[in-house]
Structure 1
Amino acid sequence: MTALTKLFRTTTFRLSLTYLALFSAAAVVAIVYLYWNTTVLLTRQLNQTIDAELTGLAEQYRAGGLDQLVRIVAERSRTPGNSLYLVADGDGKQLAGNLSAVSPQLWDSLGPVEFFYTRPAPGGVERRLAFANVFRLPGKHRLIVGRDIEDRRELARLIRTTMLWGLGVMALVGIGGGYWVSRRLLTRIDNLSATTRTIMEGDLSGRLPISGSGDELDRLAQNLNLMLGRIEQLMAGLREVSDNIAHDLKTPLNRLRNRVEEALREPYEEATYREALERTIEEADDLIKTFNALLSIARLEAGAAGDNRDKLDLAVLVSDVAELYEPVAEERGIALEAEVEAPIVIRGDRQLLGQAIANLIDNALKYGAPSAQGGNGYAPEVGVQAQMDGDTVEITVSDRGPGVPAAERERVLGRFVRLEESRSEPGSGLGLSLVAAVARLHGGVLRLEDNDPGLRVVLVLPLEGDALVNGAVTEPSTGAEPRPT
């Protein structure tokens, strides 16, 4: 397909031709309507003028006969203007008037008629169009009263010429404008297509060009770029998960296998076998938890979870989860304090939000323990807060542990990412990743901040307008007990 053929087949060029045809048709209809109304008006005025003159001449004829009619016509013929008169006898001899000669067709006509006549002009004579009424008088005399309408014919010729030239210029400008717009649009489309081909070949870092005009193509390109960024992020996450599964899950699987082999090599003892089986079951349960967490994150990332959204009081949910972890905090020697505003009603998935809050508190209890303080001089404590901030709600979980370096805060939100100082605690490195996925599913974000010392994790969720019904908060029901990951 040639470039010109491709250009002519673009929607923009076809739309330009369509609009050009419609506008041209409308212009032709308007011009024809204007010309027709003008012609009707001029014809009506012409007939009225001729009828008025005929009425006057008839009165003169009745009052003084042919002689007075000839005298009056002779006087009026000497007056400059477009009026035409002729009084002739039965042989066609002119008795009075400014029409020197008439054709046989005009002589034999009766009533209104259009005809051509000649009159002197600079450089010779000219042929002009006229309209007249022909009357037959007694004695085969003829009376012709008319008007020169050559100007009206010139007007019609001018309108036709103007319409043809106007349509020609309109077509030229329309086709040229359509060609220019289509070529400009086609260039942008070709650039978009070239980028998409690059992306389809595997380069997910490519982005669609944006001209900066803010038109619909720019808005489309921006949305597609956001989608491509999300796809690139998901693909990178998929590769990271694959690598992490290959490395991080290989170790517990090997440990499980080695434990079974070791048990088989030992002499048969029921106690030994039972212990080996119990530890194998524990390892298998940890692996199942890890795979369940991966599955949950994958479902959240794909948007396949969170369908059970309902109005719920987040303050009650945060308080319930914090109360659930109070025995764990007491056992670890950590003060757990919850401070929430009530009520905070949002629309969300109770099970997922409960699990996300549980993960945050569980992480804080693990890494805010006395053994993880590093001698910072602060008593081990974990604070849980929930408060509204404009059209959002912030759930904050803070601890006094070693915290997370600023350079690592983005990385720890990934799957299987664990800092070196956290390796001593059990876990798979999927907790914060799951919380971040829950936040994105609800249209929120997860922020990691410095608690000076320690870490402050802020889960920001949007408040929806329909969380309030007629200005009153609906009473949410209690939810299921969350499970930390």
Structure 2
Amino acid sequence: MTAFGKLIRTTAFRLTLVYLFLFALFAASLLGYFAWNTRRLITEQITTTVNAETSTISDIFGRRGLRGLIATIENRALRPGANLYLVTTPAGQAIAGNVGSLAPGVMATTGWSETAYRRLDEQDTADHHALVLVTELSSGFRLLIGRDLEERRRLFGIVAKAAQWSVLIVVVLGLGGGIFVARRVLHRIDAMTGTTQRIMAGDLSGRLPVGRSGDELDRLAENLNAMLERIEALMMGLKEVSDNIAHDLKTPLTRLRNRAEEALAKSATEAEYRTALERTIEESDSLIRTFNALLMIARAESGQARGNMDNFDAADVANGIHELYEPLAEDGGMTLHVRTESTQLHGNRELINQALANLVENAIKYGKPVPTAPPPGAGAVGTVDQKEILIEARRDGDRVLLSVTDHGPGIPVADRKHAVERFVRLEASRTQPGSGLGLSLASAVATLHGGDLKLDDAHPGLIATLTLPALSGASDGLAAQTHDVPQKAA
């Protein structure tokens, strides 16, 4: 397709043609209305003048008779720019006036009419047109008084020529403006098209150009760029997940196969076979938990879980998690506390419950107090005297905070953003069982509900907080109920 062909097929050029047609039609209608009004005004002026003169001459005929009428007509007919005058006998013979010829039948009927005529003093045979009034006088005489329409015709011609030039100028300027606008729009669209072609070719880092005008194309480009950033992030996440699955699941699958092969090669008794099968089942359960976590993250990130959302009390979730994990915390030498305020949430209770459970499991695994250097003068190495984990559910403005606080080593600031990625396990957690998906799931659940996961210092330790939108219009009872479990020694 040629450049001109692309140009005339643009929406901007077509819209310009439509507006050009409408504007030309409007201009022509306006000029036509002006010409028609001008014609009507001149006609009214002629009829008013002729009516007045007819009345005057008829009055003269009534007072002075035929001689006075003829004298008056002859006198007025000789004036420069005089009207048309003609007096005829009852037989139709002209006896006075300045009209040489008329269209047939004009003098036969009284009243107004437009007719072709020629003056007595004109040598050419060209016909002129006039608006005349024929009046019947007493004794059968007839009087014609009229006015030439050349002025009206000339003015109408001026208006018509102005209309032609106006429409021509509008068309030329409109087409020029349309081509200019269409070229600018086409240039920007071509730039966007080139970028999208590079993106389709695999360069996901490409972004649409955004100008400084802030027009609709700029706003469209900004929204598309935001969408492209989201797509790039999802594709990078998909690539990382694929790489991590291939890397992190290869080891347990290999170990699972080796144990099965070892059991076949070395086990001789039923007890040995049973032990090998139990270890295989444990490995399988670990893999199943990993895949279940991946599926839950995928559901949260894709938005599929939005169909199962309902209203519930965040305090009930926190209290349920406390009751479930309290024995596990005691087995690890920790104490689990809960502090809640009744506050309403709208969301997927199962996912929020799982996200909070993941935060508590991480706190139990990695939140044990770390040895600290003794103060000057002390002889032994001590530990931080805080072995508790605190679960909180409270309202903060229009947000609901579900937090888990421990007093372990925490997460360095530089690693916090990295810690919520899939299959990421920091060095401090390498000795503990797990897949590195707990914080990733919690972050995905928070994002699904329009919130986020924040990791902050507890001085010492870590505060992991799910920040979620509170149920709008909910009348929360803020009566705080605190469940404190007596602290036990590790």
**TM-score of the superposed pair, with normalisation by structure 2:** 0.85
Counterparts of 1:416 and 1:173, CA distance in 2: 65
Correspondence 1:20-419 to 2 at 5 A = 20-74=20-74, 76=76, 83-87=83-87, 95=96, 99=98, 101-105=99-103, 109-110=107-108, 111=110, 112-115=113-116, 130-135=130-135, 143-342=143-342, 344-370=343-369, 377-419=384-426
Secondary structure (helix, strand or coil) at the match of 2:130 reads strand
* C-alpha displacement of 1:350: 0.8
Contact 2:103-2:115 within 8 A present in 1 as well: no
Q: 1:385 to 1:51 in 2, by over 3 A?
A: same
Q: 1:406 to 1:192 in 2, by over 3 A?
A: same
Counterparts of 1:238 and 1:108, CA distance in 2: 97
Taking only aligned residues, the RMSD between alpha carbons, in angstroms, comes to 3.0
Q: 1:240 to 1:80 in 2, by over 3 A?
A: same
Q: Give 1:435's aligned residue.
A: 442
Contact 2:369-2:384 within 8 A present in 1 as well: no
- Consecutive unaligned residues in structure 2, runs of 5 or more: 374-381, 478-490
Is the deviation greater in 30-39 or in 8-17? Answer: 30-39
Contact 2:7-2:183 within 8 A present in 1 as well: yes
Q: 1:50 to 1:464 in 2, by over 3 A?
A: farther
Secondary structure (helix, strand or coil) at the match of 2:147 reads strand
Counterparts of 2:436 and 2:450, CA distance in 1: 23
Counterparts of 2:44 and 2:306, CA distance in 1: 80
* C-alpha displacement of 1:82: 6.2
Counterparts of 1:450 and 1:472, CA distance in 2: 29
Secondary structure (helix, strand or coil) at the match of 2:164 reads helix
Counterparts of 1:238 and 1:414, CA distance in 2: 12
Contact 2:297-2:441 within 8 A present in 1 as well: yes
* C-alpha displacement of 1:32: 2.2
- Structure 2 counterpart of 1:449, from 456, 475, 478: 456
Contact 2:329-2:336 within 8 A present in 1 as well: yes
Aligned length: 463
Is the deviation greater in 283-292 or in 36-45? Answer: 36-45
Q: Give 1:426's aligned residue.
A: 433
Counterparts of 2:267 and 2:286, CA distance in 1: 28
Secondary structure (helix, strand or coil) at the match of 1:457 reads strand
* C-alpha displacement of 1:133: 2.3
Counterparts of 1:226 and 1:109, CA distance in 2: 86
Contact 2:344-2:476 within 8 A present in 1 as well: no
Secondary structure (helix, strand or coil) at the match of 1:220 reads helix
Q: Give 1:482's aligned residue.
A: none
Is the deviation greater in 448-457 or in 372-381? Answer: 372-381
Counterparts of 2:21 and 2:68, CA distance in 1: 61
* C-alpha displacement of 1:409: 1.2
Contact 1:418-1:429 within 8 A present in 2 as well: yes
Is the deviation greater in 25-34 or in 412-421? Answer: 25-34
Residue type of the alignment partner of 1:145: I
* C-alpha displacement of 1:154: 2.3
* C-alpha displacement of 1:263: 2.4
* C-alpha displacement of 1:106: 7.3
Counterparts of 1:248 and 1:135, CA distance in 2: 116
* C-alpha displacement of 1:413: 1.1
Contact 1:119-1:127 within 8 A present in 2 as well: no
* C-alpha displacement of 1:414: 0.9
Paired-residue identity, %: 48
Residue type of the alignment partner of 1:254: T
Counterparts of 2:138 and 2:72, CA distance in 1: 18
Counterparts of 2:45 and 2:11, CA distance in 1: 50
Is the deviation greater in 192-201 or in 42-51? Answer: 42-51
Contact 1:207-1:228 within 8 A present in 2 as well: yes
**TM-score of the superposed pair, with normalisation by structure 1:** 0.86
* C-alpha displacement of 1:231: 1.4
Counterparts of 1:384 and 1:309, CA distance in 2: 23
Counterparts of 2:395 and 2:470, CA distance in 1: 9
Contact 1:106-1:115 within 8 A present in 2 as well: no
Counterparts of 1:196 and 1:148, CA distance in 2: 72
Counterparts of 1:409 and 1:266, CA distance in 2: 45
Q: 1:151 to 1:398 in 2, by over 3 A?
A: farther
* C-alpha displacement of 1:7: 0.5
Q: Give 2:488's aligned residue.
A: none
Q: Give 2:480's aligned residue.
A: none
Residue by residue over 1:278-317, the C-alpha shift from the partner in whole angstroms, topping out at 9 and shown as x without a partner, is 1110110000110111122122222222311111122222
Counterparts of 1:48 and 1:104, CA distance in 2: 22
Q: Give 1:123's aligned residue.
A: none
